[in-house]
Every structure is written in structure tokens, then in C-alpha cells.
Amino acid sequence: MKIPNINCKIEMVCSVNPSEDLNKIKKVISNIFPYSTIKTENFSISAQSNELKSFEKIYETIHTKQSQKTYRRNLEKNLENDTTWFYLNKQTAFVEKIVICEEANESPLGPIKVILTSSNIDGIIDWIVS
């Protein structure tokens, strides 16, 4: 995986349900989104990084599962100005699997929303799905 030299802000956000263990969700986020800063607030967790290497586990999954078309469709559908996003299934993330959700309700306890922002967002999308 060759990481391009493109400035990008990557964020992950998810709600934490009363039945969920906050520390387990923090661990899930840090496992799939290393090199990020994680914050908890009430019933939500957010993580942020300005390094594309934080995206490496998701990138590797996209390419080993041959799911580039699915990610491209979601990234382009949700593109607005210099930002795009997609959902990951929170339950599968608990077992260290990265699975995209087309809709939020595909993840019964709520999804993890991944938000990408860059002045070269088209370059970021092309890197992710090429």
C-alpha cells in the first residue's frame, strides 16, 4: 500500500448504547483506526486523525475483499464539497471485521460513521478504491 501525500482529516463517530461497554467500543475504534485521537462524550465516541496511514486497515480490507466498487459508490453518493462519508457495521467491528453498511439501520446497535475531508477529496477517493 502506497500512501499518497495528500492532506486529509479522517473522523469516526458512533453512538454508545446503554447496553454497550464504552471501553470495548473505544478498543474497537482504536483497532480499526490506529494513530487516532479518541474522545468520549456522553453517549458517543469520536476519533480523529490527519494521517492517511490511520486508514490502512480499512484500505487493506477494501482491497482484499475486492469491494472497491461498493466503497466508490458510497463515497461518491455521499460526496459534498470537500467531504464524503460512509458507514461501517459496529457489530462486525467488535470481531475485528470491517464491513460497510449501505444504510445506518444495517447495524442494529448503530453504525460507525467514517468522514473524510480534504481539499483533494477526489484524489483520496481514487486512492481508496484504485
Residue 3 lies in a domain: no
Residue 65 lies in a domain: yes
For residue 82, the enclosing domain spans 9-129
Residue 34 lies in a domain: yes
Residues 67-98 have pLDDT tens digits of 899 999 999 999 999 999 999 999 898 888 89
Mean pLDDT within 16-45: 91
Mean pLDDT within 48-60: 93
Q: What angle do CA 62, 67, 70 make, to 5 degrees?
A: 115
What global pTM score does this model have? 0.94
The CATH number assigned to the domain holding 61 equals 3.30.1440.10
What distance in Å separates the CA atoms of residue 97 and residue 28, rounded to the nearest whole number? Answer: 10
Are the C-beta atoms of 27 and 71 separated by less than 8 Å?
Answer: no
pLDDT band at 36, cuts 50/70/90?
very high
Provide the CB-side half-sphere exposure for 31 (13 A, CA).
Answer: 14
Residue 103 lies in a domain: yes
Residue 1 lies in a domain: no
How many structural domains is the chain composed of?
1
Residue 2 lies in a domain: no
Residue 4 lies in a domain: no
What distance in Å separates the CA atoms of residue 92 and residue 42, rounded to the nearest whole number? Answer: 23
Mean pLDDT within 21-47: 92
